[in-house]
Amino acid sequence: MGSERMEMRKRQTLVQQEMPGSAQPQQGDGNRGSNACCFCWCCCCSCSCLTVRNEDDERARRMSQEARGESLPNCEESSKPTLEEVQSWGQSFDKLMKSPAGRNAFREFLRTEYSEENMLFWLACEDLKKEVNKNLVEEKAKLIYEDYISILSPKEVSLDSRVREVINRNMLDPTPHTFDDAQLQIYTLMHRDSYPRFMNSAVYKTLLQSLTDTSSEP
């Protein structure tokens, strides 16, 4: 009996000694589980936020590209010009720029001189002046600035510092006429610099000759 009692006391003692040790790992495991759960939640939340942010950025980028594509087509829709119309382009730069076919021909010439951005900027300004929706005005003005005014753009047009200062002020509250001064300066540049060369270019002479030959056919 004495030995049995001693054995029972030993077992009770061992059980009591094991209980704190066994409880501590469980608590530690619980902490690890809590931390792991918290860590996983943070990661999942972070990943979800990044995913949403990336989707928003991608959507904005696509909208920006679509807006650029819609406002700046490869060429304007126009009917085939007549001989008289093409001849009138040589009378004044204004008549050339008022003709859709004339603008297309002039733009083709500017492309050969690596200065097509001047015509693209002018056309974008014309498109902006027709816009009446304030939100679209702001969006288009921003695109024009990024594409043709920013010094970081490969299509930056040549403007003096005064005009740039006017544009920067106007961009605080964009309107359809935000770039009027700049558009006039580029128009004048094309008139004085590119237009005389266009009139002597193969682009113009070939078109004029083809229409002359067509009109002389019986």
160-199 residue pLDDT tens: 999 999 999 999 999 999 999 999 999 999 999 999 999 9
Q: Does residue 143 lie within any of the structural domains?
A: yes
**For residue 13, what pLDDT is reported?**
56
Q: Does residue 113 lie within any of the structural domains?
A: yes
Q: Does residue 210 lie within any of the structural domains?
A: yes
Q: Domain with 149 in it: what CATH number?
A: 1.10.167.10
pLDDT tens string 130-152: 999 999 999 999 999 999 999 99
Q: Does residue 40 lie within any of the structural domains?
A: no
Number of domains, the chain: 1
**For residue 209, what pLDDT is reported?**
95
pLDDT tens string 71-96: 455 678 878 999 999 999 999 999 99
Q: Give the C-alpha distances (Å, rounded to integers) separating 162 from 21, 100, 168, 172, 179.
A: 80, 31, 10, 16, 12
* pTM of the shown model: 0.67
Q: Does residue 200 lie within any of the structural domains?
A: yes
Structure tokens at 63: 């909208």
Q: Does residue 25 lie within any of the structural domains?
A: no
Asked if residue 117 lies in contact with residue 93, where contact means CB atoms within 8 angstroms, the answer is: no
Q: Does residue 132 lie within any of the structural domains?
A: yes
**For residue 216, what pLDDT is reported?**
72
